[in-house]
């Protein structure tokens, strides 16, 4: 029996998402230049021509991966509650994404640094300019409500701290003390200590922290 238009639309959307997922994984493992379209589509289980159909080419696929990263991180500031509750939600949301979305984070980190993809990151940032500014303003509003003398600088430094944690986690993997960093950041802002660990797919680091790059090496 022939598929309905709705079924065809859903199949096209699944194929598109599978391509992005495969691209994220391979870009994180090999970098953009080290992952070919043939390898990406093979990993996605789709025909190679679907990259052109859905995206137009490899450069546009890279842009789609960066867009997904922006869609992921821009939700951190969309929280409600007291200023302290909101700040806790922003911190925990960023660290939770660090633990769960490591391939996407690692792939985009490399794109931010490489000259041939930095332009694509800047273009995606421009497309998300309104949402980026709104997220920044939301966090600055939290700091303003907490009585900060310079909410703009506080937002920049919080973002820098959280991004620094991600960079180290991308390098050291499960040997990086993510829960310890979470408690440290909360203390930095005078927030209560967590009562339970983040729901991550690995146990919290135990003992004296000694991050090692081998912790992020895949077998």
pLDDT in tens, the chain (219 residues): 566 778 878 888 999 999 999 999 999 889 899 999 999 999 999 999 999 999 999 999 999 999 998 888 887 667 789 999 999 999 999 998 887 777 888 888 889 888 889 999 999 999 999 999 999 999 999 999 999 999 999 999 999 999 999 888 888 888 889 999 999 999 999 999 999 998 876 677 778 888 888 776 653
pLDDT of residue 113: 85
Residue pair 25/43 in contact (Cβ under 8 Å)? The answer is: yes
Residue 17's CATH number: 1.10.10.60
The reply to whether 52 and 63 lie within a common domain is no
Residue pair 63/27 in contact (Cβ under 8 Å)? The answer is: no
Helices (H), the chain: 5-30, 37-44, 49-54, 58-73, 83-100, 102-113, 115-127, 129-145, 151-172, 178-188
Instruction: State the Cα–Cα distance between residues 2 and 77, nearest whole angstrom.
Output: 45
pLDDT of residue 170: 83
The reply to whether 183 and 198 lie within a common domain is yes
Enclosing domain of residue 52: 1-56
The reply to whether 1 and 94 lie within a common domain is no
The reply to whether 71 and 98 lie within a common domain is yes
pLDDT of residue 2: 61
* Final residue before a domain boundary, out of 41, 56, 71: 56
pLDDT of residue 219: 39
pTM here is 0.83
Residue 153's CATH number: 1.10.357
pLDDT of residue 217: 65
DSSP state of 19: H
The reply to whether 132 and 161 lie within a common domain is yes
Report the domain count for the chain.
2
pLDDT of residue 218: 55
The reply to whether 63 and 46 lie within a common domain is no
The reply to whether 96 and 117 lie within a common domain is yes
The reply to whether 119 and 200 lie within a common domain is yes
The reply to whether 21 and 123 lie within a common domain is no
């Amino acid at each position: 029996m022939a598929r309905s238009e709705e079924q065809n639309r859903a199949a096209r959307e699944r194929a598109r998402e599978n391509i992005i997922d495969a691209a994220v994984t391979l870009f994180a493992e090999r970098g953009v230049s080290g992952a070919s379209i043939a390898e990406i589509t093979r990993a996605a289980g789709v025909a190679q021509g679907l990259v052109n159909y859905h995206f137009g080419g490899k450069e546009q696929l890279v842009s789609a991966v960066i867009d997904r990263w922006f869609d992921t991180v821009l939700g951190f500031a969309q929280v409600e509650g007291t200023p302290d509750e909101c700040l806790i939600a922003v911190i925990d949301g960023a660290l939770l994404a660090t633990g769960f979305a490591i391939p996407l984070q690692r792939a985009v980190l490399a794109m931010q640094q490489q000259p041939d993809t930095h332009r694509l990151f800047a273009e995606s940032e421009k497309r998300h300019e309104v949402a980026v500014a709104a997220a920044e303003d939301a966090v600055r509003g939290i700091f303003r409500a907490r009585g900060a003398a310079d909410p703009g600088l506080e937002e920049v430094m919080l973002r820098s701290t959280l991004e620094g944690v991600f960079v180290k986690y991308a390098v050291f993997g499960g040997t990086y003390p993510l829960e310890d960093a979470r408690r440290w950041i909360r203390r930095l802002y005078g927030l209560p200590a967590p009562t339970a660990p983040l729901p991550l797919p690995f146990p919290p680091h135990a003992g004296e922290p000694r991050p090692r790059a081998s912790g992020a090496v895949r077998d």
